[in-house]
Amino acid sequence: MNDVRSRAPRSLLFGFIVVASAAASPLACSSSPPEDTSAPPLTGDASPANPGRDGATAGDTGSPRDAGEDREGGSTLPGPPPPRCADLVTDGGAGGRLATLDAPDLARFDGVTSVLLAIAWTNAAGDVWVGDRGDPFSGFDGAKVGSAIAAPGARVALAATGNAVVVASGATLTAYTRTRPGAVWSGPASGPYAAVNAWLTDHGASPAEPVLGSSGRTLFFLSVPNSGAPALVESAWDEKTSAWAAPVAHPEIASEGAARRRRPTGVAWDDLTLFYWDEVAQIERAATRDTPAGAFTRQTDVGPFPEAAPDQPCRLLYYQGTDGSGAGVFSTSGAL
């Protein structure tokens, strides 16, 4: 696309937080192939050359599934680590508007990669934009993914690499992709979502509010029936078929009606914490679970941070807010 926006002013506020995040992230230095619709980002795959979560190597990914009890030796190994965002603390205030993003037409903040190098938003006409930067201190460039490809002001999901966006288009999910930051966007493509779209057809429902987990292994969205309340569902990436599996429901996070939804906004890197906006209570909440793909057993109020998405270490949230300059993207830890 030819629509490109120049960088916003540089900002050094709270840089030490994001430097730590970027330095620890496989995405910051990964040599993985560029993302397309056929495979998720390789953010959590552990191998000697590609450390997994928390720097673990193959056989020790740092996930809850690696912990347990050594029954043969009689000793007890450390229990599962707590969810990455279990100790998230916000200041409860307005935070700061991002000085590094110039998006005067922003109607909906869609998401940010966990290393804070790509950001997505939608305007009132349904145009989708993705902004990129080379380091956490610089301003975001903005390039249009496509015109009127989403419903006006609707959310799209941003992939962990920043090289794909998933759009709820009518009764199906489709994706737009690029080979690298700055490359031309192409799409839509729906191949990897065939099982999801078939499930939606069988249930007489349409998708809305998609959110991709930054691990690349989970996709949340609302399944909207012809009548009644939307249902929160989750699809898992199937490595054998290189596609997204038919979704499963999360009735523990139930909406109360079409205008009283509880809709997903962000997922922690370990897939153990889901952030969602509660339209009933008008507050952002965090739901946690003990294992990926399990039910969410604990829910906590986070604060007045709609559309919240965490960075990788879960030390800050990006969210949508409004000030004297209008709608924009804010951070709980300052204008980074």
The pLDDT tens digits of the residues spanning 199-224 come to: 999 999 999 999 999 899 999 999 99
| Total-model pTM | 0.78
* C-alpha–C-alpha distance, residues 244 and 218, integer Å: 8
* C-alpha–C-alpha distance, residues 318 and 332, integer Å: 7
Angle at 308 between CA 284 and CA 162, to 5 degrees: 155
* C-alpha–C-alpha distance, residues 211 and 209, integer Å: 7
* C-alpha–C-alpha distance, residues 329 and 103, integer Å: 9
Enter the CATH code of domain 96-331.
2.115.10.20
Instruction: For the chain, give the longest Cα–Cα distance.
Output: 64
pLDDT in tens, the chain (336 residues): 446 565 554 443 344 333 344 443 333 333 343 344 434 443 333 222 333 333 332 222 223 333 333 334 444 556 567 787 877 655 555 568 998 999 999 999 999 999 999 999 999 999 999 999 999 889 999 899 999 999 988 999 999 999 999 999 899 999 999 999 999 999 999 999 999 999 999 999 999 999 999 899 999 999 999 989 999 999 999 999 999 999 999 999 999 999 999 999 999 999 999 999 999 999 999 999 999 989 999 999 999 999 999 999 888 899 999 999 899 999 987 544
Q: Which of 40, 39, 62, 41 is nearest to 51 (CA)?
A: 62
Q: Please state the φ and ψ torsions of residue 80, each to the nearest 5 degrees.
A: -60, 140
